[in-house]
A and B are shown apart, each in its own frame.
Chain A
Amino acid sequence: MSTNLSKQDPTGDSQVGTTPEVTGTPSADTARRRIGSTLVRNGLLMLLAFVGIALLLETLSPFRVSQLGVMAYYLPAIAGLTVLTGLNGQISLGHGALMAVGGYTTAVLLERQEGLPFLLVLLISAVVAGVVGLVVGAAAARLHGPYLAGATLALAVGLPGLALKFDEFLGGDQGLRVSPPRAPDGIESFYESLMGDNLSGQRYLAYYGWIIALVVLLLLSNLVNSRYGRHWRAVRDDEVAAELAGIDLGRMRVQAFVVSAVCAGVGGSLLAVVTRLIAPTSVTIVLSFGLLTAIVIGGLGSLLGAVIGAAVLVFMQQIITDTGLDAGLDASQAANIAPLVYGVLLIVVMLAAPRGLVGTVRMAWSTRAAARRAGA
Chain B
Amino acid sequence: MSMSRTRPLAKVVAALGAATLLLSACGGGDGDSGSAGGGAGSTTGIEGDTIKLGSHTPLTGVAAPGYSEISLGTKAYFDYVNANGGINGKKIEFTARDSAYNPAQASQVVNQLVLQDEVFGMIQGLGTPVHGAVVDFLNEEEVPDLFVSSGALAWDNPSEHPFTFGWQPNYEVEGKIVGKFIKENFPEAKVGLFLQGDDFGRDGAKGAKQFLADQVVAEVTYVPGNTVVGPQIDKLKASGADFVLGFNVPSYTALSQLAALKVNYKPKWFYSNVGSDATLVGGLLANFSKGAVKNGAGLLEGVYTTKYLPTVEDPANPWTKLFQKVWDAHGSSGELSNFKIYGMAGAYTFAEALAKAGDNVTRESLVESIENNGATFGGPQLAPFDYSKDSHRGISGLSVVQYTSGQVKELTKVQTTDGGDAPIEDYAGEPNTPDEDGIPNA
Contact = CB atoms under 8 A, between A and B. Distances in A.
Interface stretch (B67-75, B179-187, B362-370): B67-75
B103 A281 contact: yes
Contacts of A282: 102-104, 129, 133
B114 to A, nearest CB: 8
B176 interface: no
B292 interface: no
A286 B103 CA distance: 13
B98 A321 contact: yes
A15 B1 contact: yes
B30 interface: yes
Contacts of A224: 8
Contacts, number: 189
A221 B19 CA distance: 21
Given A177-B132, A201-B140, A286-B102, A311 B30 contact: no
Contacts of A6: none
Interface string A321-345: 1000100001110011011000000
B199 A48 contact: no
A105 interface: no
Interface in A154-209: 161, 164-165, 167, 172-175, 177, 179, 201-202
B238 interface: no
A279 B129 contact: yes
Contact of A303 (B8, B30, B98, B197): B8
Contact of A277 (B31, B97, B129): B129
Q: Which of A52, A61, A70, A338 has the most CB of B within 10 A?
A: A61
A289 to B, nearest CB: 13
B60 A61 contact: no
B96 interface: yes
B98 A64 contact: no
Contact of A276 (B9, B13, B137): B137
Given A61-B116, A62-B115, A282-B133, A167 B197 contact: yes
A324 B17 CA distance: 28
Interface residues of B, number: 66
Interface in B139-159: 140, 152
A286 B33 CA distance: 34
A227 to B, nearest CB: 14
Contacts of B33: 62
Contacts of A77: none
B27 A279 contact: no
Interface stretch (B105-113, B166-174, B307-315, B407-415): B105-113
Contacts of A53: 16
Q: Which of A66, A164, A225, A332 has the most CB of B within 10 A?
A: A332
B15 A308 contact: yes
- Judged by DSSP, the binding face of B is helix
B104 A275 contact: yes
Contacts of A175: 103, 129, 132-133
Q: Which of A49, A165, A287, A335 has the most CB of B within 10 A?
A: A335
Given A63-B116, A164-B224, A45 B15 contact: no
B198 A60 contact: no
B128 interface: yes
Interface string A341-376: 000000000000000001000100000000000000
A276 B102 contact: no
Contact of B17 (A42, A52, A63, A280): A52
Interface string A35-58: 010000110011011001101100
Interface string B12-56: 110111011001101110110100000000000000000000000
Contacts of A66: 108, 111, 115
Interface string A128-148: 000000000000000000000
B198 A55 contact: no
B339 to A, nearest CB: 12
Nearest to A322: B112
Contacts of A172: 197-199
A331 B9 CA distance: 39
B429 interface: no
A207 to B, nearest CB: 14
A23 interface: no
Nearest to A161: B223
Contacts of A277: 103, 107, 129, 132-133
Contact of A165 (B24, B101, B108, B223): B223
A330 B71 CA distance: 11
A288 interface: no
- Ranked nearest first, the 3 interchain pairs of A and B with the lowest CB-CB distance are A335-B98, A63-B116, A335-B59
18 contacts: A36-B2, A61-B28, A62-B116, A63-B112, A66-B111, A161-B225, A174-B198, A175-B129, A276-B134, A276-B137, A284-B102, A286-B102, A287-B104, A318-B112, A330-B75, A331-B95, A335-B98, A339-B60
Interface of A: 15, 19, 36, 41-42, 45-46, 48-49, 52-53, 55-56, 59-64, 66-67, 70, 161, 164-165, 167, 172-175, 177, 179, 201-202, 217-218, 221, 224-225, 271, 274-277, 279-282, 284, 286-287, 302-304, 307-308, 311, 314, 318, 321, 325, 330-332, 335-336, 338-339, 358, 362
Interface of B: 1-2, 5-13, 15-17, 19-20, 23-24, 26-28, 30-31, 33, 59-61, 68, 71-72, 75, 95-98, 100-104, 107-108, 111-112, 115-116, 128-130, 132-134, 136-137, 140, 152, 196-200, 223-226, 332
Given A174-B129, A275-B107, 12 more contacts: A45-B13, A61-B30, A66-B108, A66-B111, A167-B198, A173-B224, A275-B103, A279-B132, A281-B103, A321-B98, A332-B72, A336-B59
